[in-house]
Amino acid sequence: MEPLEQWYVLSGYVRFHQWLGFQPYRLASGRVSPFAALTLVQFLGVLVNLALIIYRRRCILYHCEAIGMVVDFIKLLTIGLSILVMYVELFRTRDNICGCWQLLYKAHQTLQRYGMVDQRRLTRVMRLYWWFVLGSLLYFVVNESYLYLCAEQMQTKRFYYILNIKLQQIIYPAILLDSYLRMTRAALEHHVGLLQCSEKLGSMRYMEFLAGKLNALKALYSDLFQASVALNEAYGRTYLIIYCKNYIHILSNSYWVVFWLLNNQRHHAARIISRLICRIILLGATFYINSCAMKSAQNLRHRLHTMNLGIQIKCRALFTRIESFLQQTQFESIQLTAGDFFDLNFSPILTIIFSVGAYISIFIQQAINQIDELKCNDYEKQC
């Protein structure tokens, strides 16, 4: 493996997603590795999986020979084209992905050079991420086994799982971006503490020395900003597609949950609720992580605004560098977006909540009116 892929923060992540076929190239150079052959194997695996299911049941979604085979062909074609588009997009954005990881690695080295890397935080973040990934995979395996063996629904959900694993892949850079922004703010707090001590001691020379150290923090922030730009260009459209797909599925699942509950079919409703909860958790985790990264950047900018003005007046060099740093944070504002359509904060989640609430309330109101009409018709027939 290349030096970037041997980085302990990235090594397990790279191996895991390369063997899944989600990253068939080297991060340091962008050169396609032998994992391109594995990508082809993954694609053929989907076709074999679908062929076995069709052979077993002769239909994937419906049990009607007249409609089912047409729907099966359309679904098969859709899955094949979707995976093809996913891999084309993967190779199209590889330069941005490689650039993002190289900048994050550079930021890590800068913080390590000054002894400001929080190893405990990094270890905790990595552990939580892998628990999240393994827990999701375990849920997928158990759910698929139940549907295939117990419920006798011989239909594939592989594309649904691929999208969720893809979502888990693209949130990891945002997690590290948030961690390094927090470490940058901690380094700034450390410098502010030293500046306050030097002010009490009256050491102007030491204050000027510390003012020069702010240039390293400026360069570090610039690297993190460039990493966020590369992250937006690499994964912005993917976030948008996943959000739209989950938005439609959440509305659809909410409809069927209410429908089956109104018809006293709790078993059907419970199965759909499990999918609904899974989608909401994954989507909520995605927006929470990206919101934390943007909030960390805002906290860093706010800390620069609240620095002691008395210290800045005493040291002209310090005042100049802080003003320059503030201007840099204003021009290089870290915003994580979904294809430049909206920011990845909690506003899209609120949109889903209000839409689902309005949708369900309208549906329940119409269902109650229909039930009342049926009762009236039955009463008139009896009369």
d(CA 290, CA 111): 22
d(CA 169, CA 135): 14
Residue 73 and residue 58 in contact, taking contact as beta carbons nearer than 8 Å: no
d(CA 217, CA 201): 24
For 337, phi then psi, to 5°, come to -125, 165
**Residues listed for the chain:** 383
User: Angle at Cα 319 formed by Cα 314 and Cα 325, nearest 5°?
Assistant: 155
d(CA 128, CA 126): 6
Type of residue numbered 121: R
Helix 119-145 to helix 266-305 angle (10° resolution) is 160
Q: Would you state the torsion angle of the CA atoms of residues 173, 178, 182, 188, taken in this order, to the nearest 10 degrees?
A: 80
DSSP bridge pairs for 32: 25
d(CA 97, CA 105): 12
Model pTM score:
0.80
d(CA 101, CA 2): 13
3 state DSSP class of 92: helix
**Per-residue pLDDT at 379:** 44
Element (H, E) at 221: helix 204-262
Residue 181 and residue 293 in contact, taking contact as beta carbons nearer than 8 Å: yes
Supply 155's token pair. Answer: 């239909």
**Per-residue pLDDT at 145:** 72
Supply 8's token pair. Answer: 């302990």
**Per-residue pLDDT at 381:** 47
Per-residue pLDDT 10s for the chain (383 aa) are 556 777 888 888 888 887 777 777 777 766 666 656 666 766 676 677 666 666 655 444 444 455 556 666 666 676 666 667 667 777 777 788 888 888 888 888 888 887 888 888 888 988 999 998 888 888 877 776 776 666 555 555 666 677 778 888 888 899 999 888 898 888 888 777 777 776 666 666 666 666 667 778 888 888 888 888 888 888 888 888 888 877 877 877 777 777 777 777 777 777 778 778 888 888 888 888 888 888 888 888 888 777 765 555 566 666 677 777 777 778 878 888 887 787 777 777 777 777 777 767 766 666 555 555 444 444 444 54
CA–chain centroid gap for 44, Å, is 27
Query: Radius of gyration (Cα) for the chain, nearest Å?
Result: 27
Residue 208 and residue 318 in contact, taking contact as beta carbons nearer than 8 Å: yes
In the block, tokens 């063996």 appear at 149
Type of residue numbered 199: E
**Per-residue pLDDT at 311:** 58
Nearest to 294 by CA among 343, 252, 253: 343
Residue 60 and residue 53 in contact, taking contact as beta carbons nearer than 8 Å: yes
**Per-residue pLDDT at 62:** 46
DSSP 202: T
DSSP bridge pairs for 343: 337
